[in-house]
Amino acid sequence: MSMVGLRRVVEPVGVLPQAAWRLDASPEIGPDETRIRVQRLNLDAASYRQLAEKHAHNGDAIRAEVLDIVETRGKMHNPVTGSGGMLIGVVEEVGPESPLPVKPGDRVATLVSLTLTPLRITDGLAGWDGLSEQVPAEGTAILFGRSIVGVLPDDLPPELALAVYDVCGAPALTDRVVRGYPGEPTVAVLGGAGKSGSLTLAAARRAGARTIAVVVNERERDTLLAAGLADRVAIADARDPVAVAEAVGEPADVTVVCVDVPGCEHGAILATANGGTVIFFSMATSFPAAALGAEGLAADVTMLIGNGYVPGHAEFAVDLLRQVPAVRALFEARIAAD
C-alpha cells in the first residue's frame, strides 16, 4: 500500500494521489520513490482545449493558469476536465526500494497521468508560449513504486515518443477487444484522424478488423484517405448521434471514441451493433450519459472505460508507429503543426 503514494497526499487525507486535491511535491524522495528532472510536459488534449477556450487562446493567461494549478495542487490536474497529461525528463534519483526499471541518467516518459504525479515547476514555464499542448518546463516530478515509466526509444525523437506514449492505452486495449470477436469484425473509430484515433485504426486493422473512421471535416477525411489507415472514412459531427449512426451505416462490432469533446456517448452507442462493444477513450466522456443513454436506447452493448494501462502498451504503440509509416507521418505532421 505504501507504493501508491499515500504519503504525498496532503488533502483530503486517505484518498489516493489521483483523487487528492493537493499533493506534496517536495523533491526529497521516500525509499520507494523516483525523482525525475522534468524537461517537457504534454498536456492532455481535453485539458489544453478547456484552458485555451477559457482564455480565448491568450498564451500568457493559459501559462499563468497552468502555473497556478501546479502551485495550488502540487500536480497538473485540471480541476474542470479532471485530466492531466504526461511528462518527459531524466531520472535523477531512485529510492532503494523502488521496483521501477530505471537508473539515474535514463531519459524517460512517465506513463501515469499528471493528475497523480507530484510536480514542482521552477522556471515559471519561461520557455512556453502557452499556445501548444507541448510545454517545455524545468522542475521535478516524483514517481511512486507502483507506477509506469518508459525509457525513451533511441530511434525516435522524444516529442514523437511522448506523443505516442500519451495515447498508448487506446491501441493496446482496442487490439485486445477486437481479438475477442470472431471473423472480421467491423471497428468504427470516432475521431480517427487524431493521435489516439490513427493508432487505434492501425491496431484494429492489424488485429483483423475492417475499419471505418468518422472524422469532422473534409480536410481530416482527405488526410486519412491519403494515409490509407481506414477501409472507409465518413464525415460527421461526433456529437450528433443520428449523423454518427448514419455515417457508420451497418452498426459496428466495436466503436472506439477518440474525440476529446463532450457529448459523443450517444452517437457511439447508436453506431454499435447489439452484442458489440464501445470503448470510451475521451476524458470528456460522461458516465451517466453513457449508462443512461444505452439503457434509454435498449442497447445491449458492452461499454468500457478506456483504461490507460494495458501491460506492454507503450512498446505496442511504438511498434505500431514503426511498422505503419502512415501513422508515423500523421504524428510527425501534428507535432510539426503544434
Q: Return residues touching a second copy (CB under 8 A).
A: 1, 4, 6, 14-19, 81-84, 111-113, 115-116, 146-148, 169, 239-243, 245, 263, 265-266, 270, 280, 283, 285-311
End-to-end CA distance of the chain: 40
In total, the chain counts a number of residues equal to 338
How far apart CA 196 and CA 316 sit, in angstroms, is: 13
Q: Which three cell numbers stand for residue 156?
A: 525516435
Helices (H), the chain: 45-54, 59-73, 158-166, 169-178, 195-206, 218-227, 241-248, 265-270, 287-296, 313-323, 325-337
Q: For residues 89 and 306, which CB has a smaller minimum distance to a second copy in the complex?
A: 306
For the bound state, the minimum distance from the C-beta of residue 285 to a second copy, rounded and expressed in Å, comes to 5
Q: For residues 29 and 229, which CB has a smaller minimum distance to a second copy in the complex?
A: 29
User: What one-letter code names the amino acid at 317?
Assistant: A
For the bound state, the minimum distance from the C-beta of residue 258 to a second copy, rounded and expressed in Å, comes to 13
Q: For residues 82 and 95, which CB has a smaller minimum distance to a second copy in the complex?
A: 82
For the bound state, the minimum distance from the C-beta of residue 212 to a second copy, rounded and expressed in Å, comes to 19
User: What one-letter code names the amino acid at 326?
Assistant: A
Q: For residues 95 and 136, which CB has a smaller minimum distance to a second copy in the complex?
A: 95
Q: For residues 99 and 325, which CB has a smaller minimum distance to a second copy in the complex?
A: 99
Q: For residues 118 and 130, which CB has a smaller minimum distance to a second copy in the complex?
A: 118
Q: For residues 84 and 171, which CB has a smaller minimum distance to a second copy in the complex?
A: 84
For the bound state, the minimum distance from the C-beta of residue 148 to a second copy, rounded and expressed in Å, comes to 5
What lies within 8 Å, CB to CB, of 176 at 6+ separation is: 310
For the bound state, the minimum distance from the C-beta of residue 223 to a second copy, rounded and expressed in Å, comes to 26
In sequence order, what DSSP letters do the residues of 224-284 get, joined into one string? HHHHT--SEEEE--TT-HHHHHHHH-SPEEEEEE---SS--HHHHHHTEEEEEEEEE--TT
For the bound state, the minimum distance from the C-beta of residue 21 to a second copy, rounded and expressed in Å, comes to 12
Q: For residues 116 and 160, which CB has a smaller minimum distance to a second copy in the complex?
A: 116
For the bound state, the minimum distance from the C-beta of residue 145 to a second copy, rounded and expressed in Å, comes to 10
Place of cell 524522495: 29
Q: Which three cell numbers stand for residue 48?
A: 489544453
Q: For residues 16 and 333, which CB has a smaller minimum distance to a second copy in the complex?
A: 16
Q: CB–CB of 169/307 below 8 Å?
A: yes
Please choose, from the candidates 238, 210, 211, 208, the residue with its C-alpha nearest in 3D space to the C-alpha of residue 224.
211
How far apart CA 178 and CA 198 sit, in angstroms, is: 16
Q: CB–CB of 103/91 below 8 Å?
A: yes
For the bound state, the minimum distance from the C-beta of residue 5 to a second copy, rounded and expressed in Å, comes to 8
For the bound state, the minimum distance from the C-beta of residue 222 to a second copy, rounded and expressed in Å, comes to 25
How far apart CA 122 and CA 143 sit, in angstroms, is: 18
How far apart CA 202 and CA 278 sit, in angstroms, is: 17
Report the SS3 class of residue 291.
helix
